[in-house]
Amino acid sequence: MNPVRIGFIVNPIAGMGGSVGLKGTDGDSYFLALKRGAKPVAPHRALIFLNNIRSNNFEIISAAGNMGEDVVKSSNHRDKLVEIVGETKSLTSRLDTINIAREMSRKVNIIVFVGGDGTARDIYEAIGTSVPVIGVPSGVKMYSSVFAINPVAAARLLDRFIAGEVEFVEREVLDVDEESFRRDKLVIKLYGYLLVPYSGALVQSSKTIYSGTNEELSKEGIAEYIIENMESSIPYVLGPGSTVKTICKKLDLNCTLLGVDILLNKKLLIKDAWEKEIIDIINQYGKAKIIVTPIGGQGFLFGRGNQQLSPRVLSLVDREDIIVVATEQKLRSLPYLLVDTGDKDIDEKISGYIKILVDYNRFIVTKVISNLNIL
């Protein structure tokens, strides 16, 4: 049997803006992320993907340099590298992704890309649905439904593709306008579809937004219960999302909708905080509570859209001090919740059954699954 030819592309700056609160790395945000001390995320996640591929019946055609070649050569499958596409550059752009993907599409059976929604848009622009793809999640937002739920799941999906054990479906490529996102406005646009090998729970769904009178009443009940039970002199770190930020609304505080805010004694202490600021506050007060809500339709608690709550932050917070809130409608649509922080120990710490506040003094117990151990 001829080996399957895999095109491999890494967006080396994908996800760097997350922990430093920039919500993306488009344009000048990349340089601001570097100024704030952001470190590359995508190469590590790309390596996890490569090292978890079990099949041997494949060859890799990789993008040059830090867009893939470097990671492949450091992986367990370095001997599978048969061709390099593109030029090695210190600073890459979306045009490099587009041109490389377009050239690869004429040579490969499938393209695997490591990045976020912006990278998915570039791949779509280059190849449409002409060649199947697998997205390895490494961005900040990742609302598109073309990504595996984590790098290990992406490796399992590729194994099944190589074995001929998958179906093919067209999945949505979504992206937000990052400038609007930074102004606290969620503007999501459908750009098109990519052809994705599909095999059960290995591929994430697109983000779902829930609305309606009952939803808003439940959010009100959740906020009232949280406010009544807030402890004095303990910082509360509020993750993104309308369910969590209803707390701010009821306290008449000018919080962000899509960022992370810190409250102390029911007052706004820091608006739109990033990793270092959160760590400094936890160290100053010796304790903190985190309030988060899962992403609708996907079920991620950490690792999607709230990377300010990084493994470093989560290592300083006890599991019982993580408060999860969600309306019952959102929760009932999810078979389980997911974590994908990129840190195995932190993912395992958060895993297990957890109580979720769904209305005033009403809880539902749900299982949280560590992505790296799901399969």
Q: 28-42, 287-301, 340-354: which range is least confident on average?
A: 28-42
pLDDT of residue 199: 83
User: Alpha-carbon distance 262 to 285, whole Å?
Assistant: 12
pLDDT at 35 > cutoff 80? no
Summarised one tens digit per residue, pLDDT across range 100-127 is 999 999 999 999 999 999 999 999 999 9
What's the whole-number mean pLDDT along residues 63-83? 97
Nearest to 325 by CA among 256, 250, 241, 261: 241
Tell me, what's the pLDDT at 176?
A: 76
Q: pLDDT at position 200, please?
A: 77
* 160-189 average pLDDT score: 82
Is 60 exceeded by the pLDDT of residue 23?
no
Average pLDDT over residues 155-178: 91
Which of 125, 129, 97, 107 minimizes the C-alpha distance to 12?
97
Mean pLDDT value across residues 184-200: 85
Provide mean pLDDT across the span 271-281.
95
Under 8 Å between Cβ of 136 and 151: yes
Quickly state the pLDDT bin for 3 (edges 50, 70, 90): very high
What's the pLDDT score for residue 342? 86
**Residues 339-368: pLDDT tens digits?**
999 898 999 999 999 999 999 999 999 999
**Contact, 215 vs 327, CB < 8 A?**
yes
Q: Mean pLDDT across the stretch 199-224?
A: 80
What average pLDDT does this structure show over 269-295? 96
Mean pLDDT of the residues in the chain: 89
pLDDT at 73: 98
pLDDT at position 375: 45
Q: How confident is the model at residue 1 (pLDDT cuts 50, 70, 90)?
A: confident
What's the whole-number mean pLDDT along residues 78-85? 98
pLDDT for 180 beyond 70: no
Q: Which residue has the higher pLDDT, 371 or 237?
A: 237
Structural domains of the chain, ranges and CATH numbers in brackets: 4-202 (3.40.50), 213-373 (3.40.50)
Hunting for tokens 């992704």 — which residue is that? 97
Average pLDDT over residues 236-255: 94
Residue 209 has what pLDDT? 60
213 vs 364, more confident: 364
- Looking at residue 182, its pLDDT comes to 59
List pLDDT tens digits, range 38-50: 677 899 999 999 9
Q: What is the percentage of the chain residues whose pLDDT exceeds 70?
A: 88
Q: What is the DSSP pairing of strand 362-370 with strand 352-359?
A: antiparallel
Q: Mean pLDDT throughout 145-167?
A: 95
Q: Which residue has the tokens 């622009």?
A: 125
Alpha helices (runs of H) in the chain, residue ranges in sequence order? 29-35, 42-51, 69-73, 94-104, 117-127, 151-162, 178-182, 213-228, 242-250, 275-285, 311-314, 328-332, 344-350
Lowest-pLDDT range of 17-21, 36-40, 113-117, 267-271: 17-21
Q: Region 28-53: what's the mean pLDDT?
A: 80
Which pTM value belongs to this model?
A: 0.82
Q: Of residues 184 and 224, which shows the higher confidence score? A: 224
Is it the case that residue 183 has pLDDT exceeding 70? no
Least confident residue range of 9-18, 294-303, 316-325 = 9-18
Query: Which residues, other chains included, contact 159 with Cβ-Cβ below 8 Å and sequence gap of 6+?
Result: 53, 54, 55
